Amino acid sequence: QVQLVESGGGLVQPGGSLRLSCAASGFTFSRSVMSWHRQAPGKERESVATISIGGTANYADSVKGRFTISRDNAKNTAYLQMNSLKPDDTAVYSCRAMYYSAISARPYEYWGQGTQVTVSS
């Protein structure tokens, strides 16, 4: 069965740091594009960071220079290092996988359940 399980969220002061983890199982992680998304109360969900199968990273303008996405294929895990956190970063952060099977023309899309990040003094 496919699973994406996020961890590492919590309460942090402005200017602090957190590292989120996304542990994947049930599909070929190394053939998947991984991304992190967030949704704050009353706001639309937005993509914050994406990392390609080859390791190329892209970021939303709001987090450039502060967040770093990475992946460890040996551990089937994606990470989001978040530094210089701001109150506006408060949201539920979710992990997404787009798995490109060798026998399918289109990717499979999987989502984790999300982890809460709260930035407050």
As a whole number of angstroms, the distance between CA 59 and CA 22 comes to: 17
- The residue type found at 96 is R
* pLDDT reported for residue 105: 85
Closest to 81 (Cα-Cα) out of 113, 51, 52, 53: 51
Q: What is the pLDDT of residues 34-66, one digit of tens each?
A: 999 999 999 999 999 999 999 999 999 999 999
| DSSP class of 61 | T
Task: Report the pLDDT averaged over residues 61-89.
Answer: 98
